[in-house]
């Protein structure tokens, strides 16, 4: 018989309803589809025998349906639905969740949960070899780098020394490891790669779907959603502008101080998109894509490929991560590097490979240059190391673990040398923001510290399913951080991981559960300002373990369809009933579709409307100023008169392309000084500022007053023009 081709493989899937069901079963049982009976029969049997499919006699419907597992899901969905605004029935929702959790415990006690196992361990002895000369050079260059990283300034010299330090350090400790076989060689046919190639094509098709959704939710309408900037954006763009003018700071001191990573990436993007809001948003949207990559890798490390796929699928469309990635602020720099550090750390412990700890240190070090809450991640990794250490039983493994953790910390240090030097020279500036929330530098504690912290932790626990705060810039106020589907699956995922730990005592499960409250600490430690908790931006990295748990939750439900539900046929092979594989496809598709449409509405309808209503339309002001300049008006003679609780007068300049001015404001007392200036003039002021209107009409009796009207009447403002432009 000839070797089967890819076409034979496809034909074997669709040759009959039974073969198509078996293909669906293989996909949703997370098995290799090339190992299906139908395909093996093509290789092993005669054509006549290949068409003969043995069917089994099955019992009643009620016996086959995994009622208990589905009941857990249905009750969780019903409970989560009652936490949705506007009519939030919290007591009933909590009651339904309690029943769902109790039923899940019953299912677990009856051994009804088929929870996906963690990947297997490997054991290797590290020789602790180090390349001596590169190691010595890395130490010398690191000392030199720390010395020359002074005056809060990057120079060609200190950056060159920094790069050499990193290169020599990595080369000194990087271990040579044998190359692993490709998946096709490991699981494909020894004589033909075609079957495996077909499976890879299907896998890549699924990845393409996820990628398409991620790109759509991350970049669709990015230039207009969100449409206008806030004062925080002005601070960031001024820092980016400084870089384009040759001011290369290590730590940017505006607005209580900021780490440099976003500003340098945005300055790079500004070559094509200008020093603009769009440049900021593209930089954070790219970080969102990086987050998804490491959510997938971490999900695969903590359960397998199907869990990873499901986690990324829900994270790609999730309102919380999408809004964090679209807002254009540094919040998006917290999740990807946290996920990367956690992935390499856990993978290194499981495979006992030194190189993974070097990569974890690199991810941690780079991340510490991104967003201040990342400073909690070294503490989190220390806690995780203790968890792992307590699970070890032999001295050799403990010795290796200590060395590896030290290597991770040393590597991270290499990548934070510039910030460390700045922190040594300016400790107050470096820690100002964190200390102001954790301590009493700005206000006294509003109550006993221990009580505030307990209350903050409780509020943090409620964030995902109950209440996520009232910050309109990147949150939909008074609703959970997760949508109905993701919220319910998250709770099921938490239960599944708890059950898995009870059954197997794997340290990875403890880490996954602890990651959430630990990554929330930048928000829950806001002791002086507890009203700022929950802050989805400061706990943004928590969505990494949250969506992995969402994936585990749905994976566990899907596993219930193959957990002792089918009888055995005459060949002693387990087969699904006629409806089970179809239901195993329809259920996740239905859940994902509901989540997709819900999140689309939250992001592109509710959030867009909310943002327009809450923010001032500085884009409109900037467009008017740009039109004035383009028609020949002087950029220095287009002004905005400030008014309490109105627009940030720096922002229109970015829309107008006149950022070099820094400030477009002119106070009312300085208006008379504009009269002697020649040429056309443009004044923009608030509708309620009757005093400015009277002053301008007195100074310029021939001036023209008009009202700029927008789709939101409360955002209208006055335009006062002096002199004609061609």
Report if residue 533 sits inside a domain: yes
**What CA–CA distance (Å, rounded) separates 674 from 680?**
11
**What CA–CA distance (Å, rounded) separates 493 from 678?**
69
Task: From residue 208, give the alpha-carbon distance in Å to each of 13, 174, 214, 326, 417.
Answer: 21, 34, 10, 21, 39
Report if residue 582 sits inside a domain: no
Here the tokens at position 675 are 């009269």
354 and 257 share one domain: yes
- The HSE-up count of residue 417 (CA atoms within 13 Å, CB side) is 27
Q: What is the pLDDT of residue 67?
A: 81
**What CA–CA distance (Å, rounded) separates 647 from 651?**
8
349 and 412 share one domain: yes
Q: Tell me the H-state helices in 604-724.
A: 608-614, 618-630, 651-656, 690-699
Number of domains in the chain: 5
407 and 371 share one domain: yes
3-class SS string, 556-567? HHHHHHHCCCCC
Q: What is the pLDDT of residue 109?
A: 85
264 and 143 share one domain: no
**What CA–CA distance (Å, rounded) separates 56 from 260?**
65
Q: What is the pLDDT of residue 26?
A: 59
**How are beta strands 717-722 and 681-686 bridged, if at all?**
antiparallel
DSSP letters for 420-487:
HHHHHH-HHHHHHHHHHHHSSSSS--SS-HHHHHHHHHHHHHHTTTT-----TTTS-TTS-SS-HHHH
Here the tokens at position 664 are 């477009």
- Classify 166 as helix, strand or coil: helix
88 and 228 share one domain: no
- Classify 258 as helix, strand or coil: strand
Domain stop point among 553, 583, 610: 610
Give the pLDDT confidence of 376-407 residue by residue, as tens digits.
999 999 999 999 999 988 888 899 999 999 99
413 and 392 share one domain: yes
Report if residue 60 sits inside a domain: no
518 and 648 share one domain: no
Task: From residue 625, give the alpha-carbon distance in Å to each of 2, 231, 631, 665, 695.
Answer: 74, 19, 10, 13, 21
Which residues have CB under 8 Å from 10's CB, separation 6+? Answer: 198
Q: What is the pLDDT of residue 639?
A: 97
End-to-end CA distance of the chain: 84
Report if residue 63 sits inside a domain: no
Domain enclosing residue 75, as ranges: 68-107
598 and 664 share one domain: no
Element (H, E) at 266: helix 261-273
701 and 553 share one domain: no
291 and 395 share one domain: yes
Report if residue 186 sits inside a domain: no
Which residues have CB under 8 Å from 366's CB, separation 6+? Answer: 261, 337, 415
Which residues have CB under 8 Å from 125's CB, separation 6+? Answer: 396, 400
Report if residue 162 sits inside a domain: yes
646 neighbors 718 (Cβ within 8 angstroms): no
Report if residue 1 sits inside a domain: no
Torsion angle, alpha carbons of 360, 364, 366, 367, to 10: 130
Residue the block writes with tokens 């960031």: 236
Report if residue 579 sits inside a domain: no
Please identify every stretch of the chain with a pLDDT value under 50, giving residue numbers as ranges.
1, 6, 28, 33-34, 36, 38-64, 181-192, 564-578
402 and 279 share one domain: yes
320 and 366 share one domain: yes
Residue the block writes with tokens 């020789």: 127
**What CA–CA distance (Å, rounded) separates 380 from 376?**
6
């Amino acid at each position: 018989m000839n070797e089967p081709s890819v076409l034979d493989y496809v034909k074997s899937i669709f040759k009959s309803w039974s073969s198509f069901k078996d293909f669906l079963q293989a996909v949703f049982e997370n098995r290799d589809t090339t190992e299906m009976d139908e395909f093996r029969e093509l290789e092993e049997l005669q054509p006549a025998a290949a068409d003969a499919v043995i069917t089994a006699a099955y019992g009643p419907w009620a016996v086959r349906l995994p009622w208990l597992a589905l009941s857990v899901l249905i009750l969780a969905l019903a409970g989560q639905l009652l936490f949705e605004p506007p009519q939030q029935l919290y007591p009933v929702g909590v009651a339904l969740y309690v029943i769902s959790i109790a039923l899940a415990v019953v299912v677990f006690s009856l051994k009804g949960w088929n929870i996906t196992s963690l990947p297997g361990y490997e054991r290797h002895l590290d020789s602790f070899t180090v390349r001596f000369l590169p190691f010595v050079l890395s130490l010398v260059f690191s000392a030199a780098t720390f010395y020359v990283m002074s005056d809060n300034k990057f120079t060609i010299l200190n950056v060159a020394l920094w790069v050499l330090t990193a290169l020599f350090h990595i080369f000194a400790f990087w271990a040579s490891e044998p190359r692993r076989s490709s998946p096709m060689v490991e699981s494909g046919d020894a004589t033909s790669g075609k079957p495996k190639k077909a499976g890879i094509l299907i896998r890549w098709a699924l990845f393409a779907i996820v990628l398409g959704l991620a790109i759509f939710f991350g970049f669709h309408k990015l230039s207009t959603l969100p449409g206008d900037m806030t004062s925080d954006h002005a601070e960031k763009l001024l820092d980016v502008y400084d870089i384009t003018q040759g001011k290369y700071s290590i730590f940017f001191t505006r607005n209580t101080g900021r780490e440099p990573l976003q500003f340098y990436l945005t300055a790079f993007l500004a070559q094509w998109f200008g020093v603009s809001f769009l440049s900021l948003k593209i930089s954070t949207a790219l970080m969102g894509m990086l987050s998804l990559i490491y959510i997938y890798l971490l999900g695969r490390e903590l359960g397998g490929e199907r869990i990873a796929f499901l986690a990324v699928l829900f994270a790609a469309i999730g309102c919380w991560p999408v809004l964090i990635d679209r807002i254009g602020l540094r919040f998006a720099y917290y999740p990807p590097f946290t996920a990367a550090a956690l992935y390499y750390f856990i993978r290194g412990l499981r495979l006992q490979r030194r190189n993974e700890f070097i990569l974890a240190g690199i991810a941690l070090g780079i991340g510490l240059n991104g967003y201040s809450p990342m400073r909690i991640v070294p503490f989190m990794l220390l806690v995780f190391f203790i968890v792992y250490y307590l699970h070890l039983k032999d001295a050799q493994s403990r010795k290796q673990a200590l060395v590896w953790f030290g290597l991770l910390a040393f590597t991270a240090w290499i990548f934070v040398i510039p910030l460390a030097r700045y922190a040594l020279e300016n400790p107050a500036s470096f820690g100002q923001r964190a200390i102001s929330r954790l301590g009493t530098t700005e206000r006294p504690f509003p109550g006993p510290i221990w009580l505030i912290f307990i209350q903050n932790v409780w509020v943090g626990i409620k964030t995902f399913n109950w209440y996520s705060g009232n910050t309109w810039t990147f949150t939909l106020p008074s609703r959970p951080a997760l949508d109905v589907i993701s919220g319910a699956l998250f709770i099921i995922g938490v239960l599944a991981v708890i059950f898995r730990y009870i059954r197997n005592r794997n340290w990875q499960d403890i880490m996954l559960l602890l990651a959430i409250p630990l990554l929330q600490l930048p928000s829950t430690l806001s002791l002086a300002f507890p009203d700022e908790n929950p802050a989805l931006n400061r706990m943004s990295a928590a969505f990494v373990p949250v969506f992995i748990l969402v994936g585990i939750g749905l994976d566990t439900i899907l596993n219930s369809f193959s957990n002792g539900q089918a009888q055995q046929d005459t060949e002693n092979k387990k087969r699904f009933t006629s409806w089970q594989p179809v239901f195993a496809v329809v259920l996740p598709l239905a859940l994902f579709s509901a989540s997709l449409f819900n999140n689309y509405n939250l992001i592109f309808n509710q959030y867009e409307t909310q943002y327009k209503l809450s923010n001032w339309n500085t884009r409109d002001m900037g467009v008017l100023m740009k039109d004035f300049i383009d028609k020949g008006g002087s950029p220095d003679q287009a002004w905005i008169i400030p008014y309490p609780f109105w627009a940030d007068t720096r922002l229109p300049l970015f829309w107008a392309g006149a950022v070099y001015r820094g400030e477009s404001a002119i106070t009312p007392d300085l208006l008379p000084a504009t009269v002697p200036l020649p040429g056309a003039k443009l004044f923009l002021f608030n509708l309620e500022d009757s005093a400015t209107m009277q002053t301008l009409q007195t100074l310029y009796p021939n001036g023209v007053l008009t009202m700029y009207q927008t789709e939101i009447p409360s955002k209208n403002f006055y335009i006062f023009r002096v002199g004609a432009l061609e």
